[in-house]
Amino acid sequence: MSFTVGKGQLEEPVELLRIALDERVFVKLKGDRELVGTLHAYDQHLNLIISDAEETLQKAELDEETYEQIVRQERRKLQLVYVRGDTVFLVSPLLRHTGTFL
């Protein structure tokens, strides 16, 4: 069974979010931030209401002795979050993911 949306089924791109309502979504945001949570509402700006979210923040630091770049991940839980649309790069419904993820 395929979870992918058949082409021609969507009138406009933002409609993908209507299909994803009440499902888990993956969101990529400005500033190396990522969110995984349940999508409750969206609008044309891609403002999002997401609940039970986990935010992952990537921080790149330079080791002072070896000058090697170290990527550190910080995670935190958010019960309910309003994401402003202009910070969004990408939204992807998790149920529809195929192959490897994360």
Partner 1 sequence: MLSGEQSSASGPGSTAGEYEGQAPATRTPTHFLRKVLGRPVVVKLNNGTEYRGTLVCLDGYLNIVLENSAEFLNGELKRRYGDTLLRGSNVLYVGTIPD
Owner of token pair 């209507």? 18
9: alpha, beta or left? (left if phi > 0; alpha if psi -120 to 50) = alpha
CA angle 25, 92, 53 (to 5 degrees): 25
Nearer to partner 1, 81 or 92 (CB): 92
Distance (Å, whole) CA 92 – CA 67: 35
Binding site for partner 1 (CB under 8 A): 3-5, 7-17, 26, 46, 85-86, 88-93, 95-102
Q: Which is nearer to partner 1, 35 or 64 (CB)?
A: 35
Report, in Å, the least distance between residue 51 CB and partner 1: 19
Q: Which residue number, 7 or 72, has a Cβ lying nearer to partner 1?
A: 7
Give least dist CB 22 to partner 1, A: 16
